[in-house]
Structure 1
Amino acid sequence: MELNFKKSYKFAFKSSAYITLFFLGVFLLYHFFIAPLHLIFVFGFAFCLALFSFFLIQYRVETFIYKRVKKIYDDVSLLENTSFRNQPITTDMETLTKEVQKFARDKKLEIETLKIREEYRREFLGNISHELKTPLFTVQGYLLTLLDGAMEDKTIRKKYLQRADKGVERLIYIVKDLDMITKLETGDIHLEVSRFDIVEVVQNVFDLLEMKASKKKITLSFDAKYAKPIWVLADQEKIQQVVTNLVVNSIKYGNEGGTTEVGIEDLVNDRLIVRVTDNGEGIKKQYIGRLFERFYRVDKSGARSEGGSGLGLAIVKHIIEGHNEKIYVESQFGVGSEFSFTLEKTE
């Protein structure tokens, strides 16, 4: 690629001025203390020396910098696709130094970002491998046992087929969530925005999860009595999934005999906030920043025993951000957690 060369005359001008002043001073000392000289000759010589010095230094600086910096550009192929490549080469050393330092800082930041992404990729592949491996091996184990002769026993056959079916259901659940989050992350999210009652949506979620909560003796309730509908503008189906995922998490990590409360409050003129609060085990501060990553689990062994795809909070985050809204989390280890998100309200 042909490089854009930006000339700067400051260095050559200053250098030629210093040289000219030095020789002018020498001639003037000679004129006053040794032998008189024609001043026209002295200043004429100084002027010619200044011009000659300026053009010589400018030419040499341009040649020196251009050739060597161009060689660096050509040798380092990594620069080919960077914005630094498109910047003009300057003969101003101060400007050039600043540009190179800025480039070095940008490259360092880019390398650090790539390292973080690589670590995230390795962790993601390990997590998804574990998530898929467990139900696959479970299904395979039951089927192989049946093929080895257990199929003749009707009781064992039915029990093992039912367990294999649960493993297949878990696989389908994971694949569906993976498909959904892939679409969400690529921006392929189609929102069917409508006016609906958020109180009714939360109540529907409570009704759906009542049996799941009762197994751990967890009470699902509102923080207050909402006698009137609270209308919002959003995709009802996706917001119901958000509430479902948050309440399921509160049940999964809640203490036996605990509570899960949902509160709905006005935030600003056209916004409200929905809070899902539990008195479960809580989350340590160092884990909160990674809660919305795919497959990230604070308590990996315990969480997997509870089931789920490990994608619930990641899906919640993408759905809320797809609505141009915000999601928040506050938690105190040993006390409980609160997940909240904003919605646009309407009359």
Structure 2
Amino acid sequence: MSIKKRLIASNVAMIVFPIVLFLLLELVIATLIFSGMNGTPVKKDSQWFMSLRFIGLLFILILTNGILTYMVSKTILKPIRILTKAAEEISNGNLDHEIVSVNKDELGKLSETFESMRLQLKKAREERDLYENNRKEFVASISHDLKTPLTSIKGYINGVLDGIPDNPKTKQMYLKTAYQKAEDMDHLINELFLYSKLDFEQFSFQFEPVSLDNFLADYLQELQYDPYFKDVEFTFQSETSENNSVMADRLSLGRIIDNILQNSLKYSDKKERKISVYLQYESDTVLVKIEDNGKGIPKESLPRIFESFYRADPSRNKATGGSGLGLAIVKKLVEGHGGDIWAESEEGKGTSIYFTLKKRKEGNSNAKRINH
């Protein structure tokens, strides 16, 4: 019952209850007095009867008004006290204080709104704490990943300046190693720059119709001549579809595939390395699945592999190194295409990366440049 209806009912009860009780009281008093006087009251008895009537009426008014006022105020003041306590807890930084409302009136709705606000504040604080922790981890990772090759470069160059290489071949090896470390730094800086543009939605996509079937077939064909993938057995399967075109940025699409494949090989532990690519056409999207036969990803690490600087393998050696931004960039690029990305994995058997792209709608064949 709403507060308005409750107050109206209370006011009506404050009129009806006293009248009913007064009539009953008057009947009882009259019965007692008249029965005691054998039905022939005298003047003194009539005065006594009027006095009892007045006292009884006053008592009934005080009693009924007191009880009704207490009952109504209790249903209003109790939720207010709960909300006041909750507001104090929130002002003191305690967002775990739950607000339970049993009323179905305006105060009940206010309590539900207050509880919803508390949950939103709690979620915002958790996201802020997570962001702050990620920021600290991000800065620490950048510092480490930039300092490591820089220290190596300085060491090799100082070695050359100090004349440690005693022959031209060793000196050449020192300089080539320093140059390779500089290349690694340059790659990391480019990855950071790209990730920053994607994160701040300042990256420009050049969307155009792309036949995903042909694009992937040609892309995997070219990888057969890449020394990095020379020992990899590729398999490509695609469903037949009349409309197999998607709206995509070719360069970004190539980077998505390349980053996923490189990440697959980085954690491969099999002598015969295999990667399978599948295309599945749905009503409005195309599903791409890239499956490897690597060592897989632990369950606790799987939800975090698309975070920046997260490595399922915490070691930072040459085999499992990299910028730690590869899959984070992939996620940003896929989302920039309006698609979704996720992963499934089983330790010891391999990992599958899935992502979707939107199909090109009929008549939508013009290339578009979109800043994201």
TM > 0.5 fold call: yes
Distance 1:317 1:290 in 2: 12
Distance 1:187 1:12 in 2: 55
CA RMSD of the aligned region, Å?
4.7
Name the larger-Rg structure.
Answer: 2
Preserved CA contact (<8 Å) 2:235 2:277: no
1:138 aligned residue (116, 131, 152): 152
2:27 aligned residue (3, 25, 32): 32
Partner residue in 1 for 2:179: 165
2:329 aligned residue (301, 315, 336): 315
1:188 aligned residue (182, 185, 202): 202
Question: What letter matches 2:168 in structure 1?
Answer: K
- Shift in Å, 1:40: 11
Preserved CA contact (<8 Å) 1:274 1:341: yes
Distance 1:205 1:11, change over 3 A: same
- Shift in Å, 1:11: 6.9
2:302 aligned residue (259, 268, 288): 288
Preserved CA contact (<8 Å) 1:247 1:260: no
Preserved CA contact (<8 Å) 1:327 1:342: yes
Distance 1:303 1:17 in 2: 82
Distance 1:306 1:51, change over 3 A: closer
Preserved CA contact (<8 Å) 1:199 1:229: no
Preserved CA contact (<8 Å) 1:13 1:54: no
Distance 1:124 1:306, change over 3 A: same
Question: What letter matches 1:294 in structure 2?
Answer: S
Distance 1:193 1:42, change over 3 A: same
Preserved CA contact (<8 Å) 1:135 1:167: yes
Distance 1:208 1:161 in 2: 31
State how 1:14-93 maps to structure 2 within 5 Å.
27-28=22-23, 30-34=25-29, 35-36=49-50
Say which is worse superposed, 282-291 or 256-265, in terms of deviation.
256-265
Distance 1:110 1:287 in 2: 24
Distance 1:117 1:247 in 2: 29
- Shift in Å, 1:221: 3.7
Q: Deviations over 1:215-264 (max 9, x none)?
A: 783223424799x9954331111101111111112222223432333434
- Shift in Å, 1:165: 1.0
Distance 1:215 1:273 in 2: 24
Distance 1:343 1:262, change over 3 A: farther
- Shift in Å, 1:109: 2.9
Distance 1:131 1:211, change over 3 A: farther
Partner residue in 1 for 2:286: 272
How many residues align structurally?
328
Say which is worse superposed, 167-176 or 296-305, in terms of deviation.
296-305
1:251 aligned residue (246, 257, 265): 265
Distance 1:46 1:314, change over 3 A: same
Matched, 1:202 2:224: no
Distance 1:219 1:112, change over 3 A: same
- Shift in Å, 1:268: 1.6
Partner residue in 2 for 1:338: 352
Partner residue in 1 for 2:163: 149
Distance 1:76 1:314, change over 3 A: closer
State how 1:227-266 maps to structure 2 within 5 Å.
231-266=245-280
Question: What letter matches 2:182 in structure 1?
Answer: V
Q: Percent identity?
A: 27
